[in-house]
Amino acid sequence: MDAKAGQNALLNLDMDTRVIGKPVPRKEGREKVTGRARYVDDIALPGMLHGATVRSQLARGRIVGIRYGAGIPWEEFTIVTARDIPGKNCVTLLIEDQPCLADGVIDHPEEPVVLLAHSDAYLVEEARRAVEIVCEPLPAVFTIEDSLTRKEVIWGEDNIFKSFLVEKGDVESAWAQAELIVEGEYETGAQEQLYIEPNGMIAEASPEKGVTVWGSLQCPYYVHKALVPVFGLPKHRVRVVQTETGGGFGGKEEYPSMIAAHAALLAWKSGRPVKIIYDRAEDMVATTKRHPSKTRHRTGVTRDGRLVAMDIDFTIDGGAYETLSPVVLSRGTIHAAGPYSCPNVRIRSRAVATNAPPHGAFRGFGAPQSVFALERQMDRVAEQLGMTPDEFRRRNFIHEGETLAVHQVVREKVDMKRLMDRAFELSGYHEKRERFAKENARSAIKRGMGFASFLHGAGFTGSGEEYLASEVSAEATPDGVVRIHAASTEMGQGTNTIFSQIAAEALGLPCEQIEIVQPDTANVPNSGPTVASRTSMIVGKLVESAALEIEKKLKDSGFLDGKRDPRAFAAACRRYISEIGPLGAFIRYDHPRDLHWDDERYRGDAYGAYAWAVYVAEVSVDTRTAETRVEDFVAVQEVGRVINPVLAAGQIEGGVAQGVGFALFENIVWREGRMVNGQMTNYVMPTSMDVPPIRVFFEEIPYGRGPGGAKGIGELPLDGSAPAVINAVANATGLDIRRIPMTPETLLEMLESARG
Amino acid sequence: MAEVGKKIRVECTVNGEAAAFEAYPMERLLDALRRELRLTGTKEGCGEGECGACAVEMDGALVNSCLVPAAQAQGATLRTIEGVACADELHAIQKAFLLHGGSQCGICTPGMILASVNLLDRNPSPSEEEIREGLAGNLCRCTGYTKIFASVVAAHRKRDGGG
């Protein structure tokens, strides 16, 4: 496809659809509202043992012994250490640096060392507490600063997992044109995904039968890829099945591979099925969280508010092993300069090692961190220019045909001003901002309005989708039911429903006639991971193509005419299957040839499409109690065609609530690399009393390469919610807040020092 | 510790029927329901009474079954998510959750539905503030609660409208 044709393909103006765009009820909803949906902990296999994980008790050191305490009938237990691993001792992801079980050395305080299994779940917990890992401590690193200055080298040669440099224009020579230069440093804390269903796995494993795991997970083929080397088995002898998954948000992207390996190792040694379910405390302290970050901005502008140069330095704390940090860093880097047009941009970034459990995927994947910094910086630059924050952004918004920091020419019909105007109108932004400024002077409760404007790329970055080469298949039954085989998982975000709608729309069938096959590596092809806002846009398109391929076969055979009728479709399927044979379709992703990415220079078409948004928050801050309440929230976004308005709004509302938590509540307390508040009692997420009315609005510009015109949506709301809230708090109080979470304690300190 | 002492026989009424199970007296009612009665619709989210995923009705009151000793269920009348629908006919709240997007990943849904049913039984026409308060003991990480509020409102409007 040439560039011109590619451009035309981006505009699909056919909005006349039958099931796409309709609030079709959730496919598996009935099972969920009746309690019949089966999550991993609801499954019990005959003879099943319960597994537990004994973890290191210090951040860094050498293991010198393992003591099994008195009073436990150890002979009844299955005990697994690194020595019992039949294959490689690593959790394979991008590289192979993370052991499955620590062997000799400890690199973080929650490192698994010993696995235990017993038929009595109570006894196994007692036994876990009776095992002592005896260690000689080594000096450890707990902060980004100490890692960067190489106080100790704890990973590789320089503690750096990955670094990127994005350059557009020439920042160094551009400073001369700047009439004002504003600097700022910003921080974001770690954040726990806090899906309400903790992680868990069940495994059956033996040299004869191979390895099968069932569990709560986002990416069946990630788990599969990790299990194969641990057992040294051929691929076809490892099987991964996703059970109903009670939330993921990235938290079940990579860590389930670890738990699957543990359960399977215990099953392998004991010869019995083994279930490992983390309790909340273990899930919170040991599994991944959002990467903490530090960002430095140096922004040059002209007096009339034009961006001249943006110099951005972005660092994330990756924890003890590389895991997904290079990819998180990549997304954070690419999103760091936002939806603005600036001729000279430099983004330098790196992910560093510390002796904390590895940080990992969490909805937004690096972007919420760098977008928070940017949107605070934009407000601060505007203030120093003596310009309103909206006018400053208005003068710098990117337009179709202009280039982003990574040199990507925007080919979408983006209109950020329109999104902003609509968000302001719906929230009463201008009127309230003016009124609050007057009222605040005579009130202890200060009110404020803030906003953030941002973009989020859908799908894997750069050539990622090309390498993934995702696959989907479909088959039709003689009754005219079409079964979709994909590895994309349902974890609440709506995969089952969206895929049904896409296939039903393509075939002119009711959604009930589409079946979504349970993700099971023995039965579905590799559609790639369920991450990166890629399921609807990328995999959904493959579902659409597979459905259309089935229809084409029916038409080519002469069994189906142009008329779209479910009964005629079923009759045609029956006839095809009896006269010709199985009726199916297999589709593999084909990367658009007009999308180019240069991995060396880190520039090009970073994403096939972006979602664009402006979010407005209204807050009140009680300056006596330092309590901040978000009173109203308006989220306006352009996400291509909305496939299901109820599900789509649900994605945004849930994401905004998580973003409010990221901004105001969710504070992880670290002590020597260990989370010490691993309970829902003292790690506080928003309750029904804390969330504002969240008002969601969509602009729909169909995207030609998305199924039915859809783009990605899932991660978007995490990017802009926190900066909108904090910009509102800054507007209300006049405080220059640079770090989140902004808890009442930190706000109180700031209020007190402002009072002098 | 939960498993201290001898197991006892607990007799109670569960979802309108007589039920009996064996459990340690101080074992969590949550575990007894899930293991002994196979009522796995009641979920464990935190085990410390914060999230409400394990909420059940006990003698008409909403309780977190992770905080209730099994022995306390002796003679009690319990309702779990399995007892909310009437055979195949969903309760108005369940229908509303299905239609209005009140359930996403579904893990908080059983507790959230019991909390909603309990709220509407006590207060048939709650205000928005009363709905927020009534559900404050049930955490949901997916929805931002917005569609859950909408589901509760839709259920009581429907009931008010339909008599």
Which chain A residues contact residue B104 at CB under 8 A? 26, 247, 492-494, 650, 654
Residues A635-680: tens digit of each pLDDT? 999 999 999 999 999 999 999 999 999 999 999 999 999 999 999 9
Task: Determine the average pLDDT of the residues in A413-423.
Answer: 98
Eight-class DSSP state of A539: I
- Higher-pLDDT residue of A504 and B163 is A504
Predicted pLDDT of residue B163: 37
The answer to whether B14 touches B78, Cβ cutoff 8 Å, is yes
Strand partners, A515: A483
Task: Determine the average pLDDT of the residues in A169-192.
Answer: 98
Q: How confident is the model at residue A12 (pLDDT cuts 50, 70, 90)?
A: very low
Predicted pLDDT of residue A659: 98
**Can you tell me which residue has the tokens 């537990």?**
A52
The domains of chain B are located at 8-83, 92-160
Q: How confident is the model at residue A7 (pLDDT cuts 50, 70, 90)?
A: very low
Which residue of chain A comes nearest to B89, CA vs CA? A34
**High-pLDDT (> 70) share of chain A, %:** 98
Which chain B residues contact residue A247 at CB under 8 A? 104-105, 107, 141-142
**Can you tell me which residue has the tokens 């939330």?**
A247
B39 residue type, one letter: L
Q: How far apart are CA A736 and CA A730, in angstroms?
A: 6
Predicted pLDDT of residue A649: 98
Q: How far is CA A200 from CA A121, A244, A256, A346, A697, in A?
A: 14, 11, 8, 43, 36
Task: Determine the average pLDDT of the residues in A539-552.
Answer: 98
- HEC string for chain B: CCCCCCCEEEEEEECCEEEEEEECCCCEHHHHHHHCCCCCCCCCCCCCCCCCCCEEEECCEEEECCCCEHHHHCCCEEECHHHCCECCECCHHHHHHHHHCCCCCCCCHHHHHHHHHHHHHHCCCCCHHHHHHHCCCCCCCCCCCHHHHHHHHHHHHHHHHHC
Which helix (H) or strand (E) is A113 found in, with range?
strand A112-118
Task: Determine the average pLDDT of the residues in A576-597.
Answer: 97
* Residue of A539, A60, A167, A99 whose CA lies nearest to A321: A99
pLDDT-wise least confident of A5-14, A366-375, A419-428, A661-670: A5-14
* Residue of B7, B30, B3 whose CA lies nearest to A125: B3
Strand partners, A670: A675
Residues 112 through 151 of chain B touching chain A, CB cutoff 8 Å: 113, 131-133, 135-136, 138-149
Q: Does the CB of B80 have a partner CB in chain A at under 8 Å? A: yes
Predicted pLDDT of residue A610: 98
| pLDDT at A229 exceeding the cut of 90 | yes
| pLDDT at A407 exceeding the cut of 90 | yes
Could A694 and B146 be called an inter-chain contact, meaning their C-beta atoms sit closer than 8 Å?
Answer: yes
| pLDDT at A11 exceeding the cut of 80 | no
A662 residue type, one letter: F
Which of A26, A34, A43 is the best substitution to test chain B (most B C-beta atoms within 10 A)? A34
Predicted pLDDT of residue A131: 98
The distance of A223 to chain B (nearest Cα, Å) reads: 21
Q: How far apart are CA B51 and CA B34, in angstroms?
A: 17
| pLDDT at A1 exceeding the cut of 60 | no
The distance of A393 to chain B (nearest Cα, Å) reads: 29
**High-pLDDT (> 90) share of chain A, %:** 97
Query: What is the CATH superfamily name and number for domain B92-160?
Result: [2Fe-2S]-binding domain (1.10.150.120)
Residue A210 CB neighbour total at 10 angstroms: 17
Predicted pLDDT of residue A4: 40
The answer to whether A168 touches A407, Cβ cutoff 8 Å, is yes
Predicted pLDDT of residue B161: 59
Residues A314-338: tens digit of each pLDDT? 999 999 999 999 999 999 999 999 9
What does the angle CA A412 – CA A417 – CA A419 come to, to the nearest 5 degrees? 75
* Helix pair A255-270, A220-231: axis angle to 10 deg: 40
For domain B8-83, which CATH number applies: 3.40.50.1820, 2.30.290.10, 3.40.50.2300, 3.10.20.30? 3.10.20.30
Residues A87-114: tens digit of each pLDDT? 999 999 999 999 999 999 999 999 999 9
What does the angle CA A27 – CA A29 – CA A35 come to, to the nearest 5 degrees? 140
Task: Determine the average pLDDT of the residues in A410-437.
Answer: 98
Average of per-residue pLDDT values in chain B: 95
Using CB atoms, pick whichever of A38, A122, A494 lies closest to residue B3.
A122
| pLDDT at A685 exceeding the cut of 60 | yes
Predicted pLDDT of residue A222: 98
In B60-145, alpha helices (H) = 92-100, 109-122, 128-134
| pLDDT at A724 exceeding the cut of 80 | yes
Using CB atoms, pick whichever of A33, A38, A653 lies closest to residue B143.
A653
Residues B33-76: tens digit of each pLDDT? 999 999 999 999 999 999 999 999 999 999 999 999 999 999 99
Which of A196, A362, A363, A696 is the best substitution to test chain B (most B C-beta atoms within 10 A)? A196
Which of B4, B37, B104, B140 is the best substitution to test chain A (most A C-beta atoms within 10 A)? B104
Which residue of chain B comes nearest to A25, CA vs CA? B99
Could B139 and A680 be called an inter-chain contact, meaning their C-beta atoms sit closer than 8 Å?
Answer: yes
Q: How far apart are CA A579 and CA A571, in angstroms?
A: 12
Could B42 and A35 be called an inter-chain contact, meaning their C-beta atoms sit closer than 8 Å?
Answer: yes
pLDDT-wise least confident of A20-34, A144-158, A282-296, B3-17: B3-17
The answer to whether A327 touches A459, Cβ cutoff 8 Å, is no
Q: How far is CA A324 from CA A373, A389, A560, in A?
A: 22, 35, 48
Q: Does the CB of B88 have a partner CB in chain A at under 8 Å? A: no
Which chain A residues contact residue B82 at CB under 8 A? 34-35
Predicted pLDDT of residue A512: 96
Average of per-residue pLDDT values in chain A: 96
Residues A609-632: tens digit of each pLDDT? 999 999 999 999 999 999 999 999
The answer to whether A350 touches A329, Cβ cutoff 8 Å, is yes
A268 residue type, one letter: W
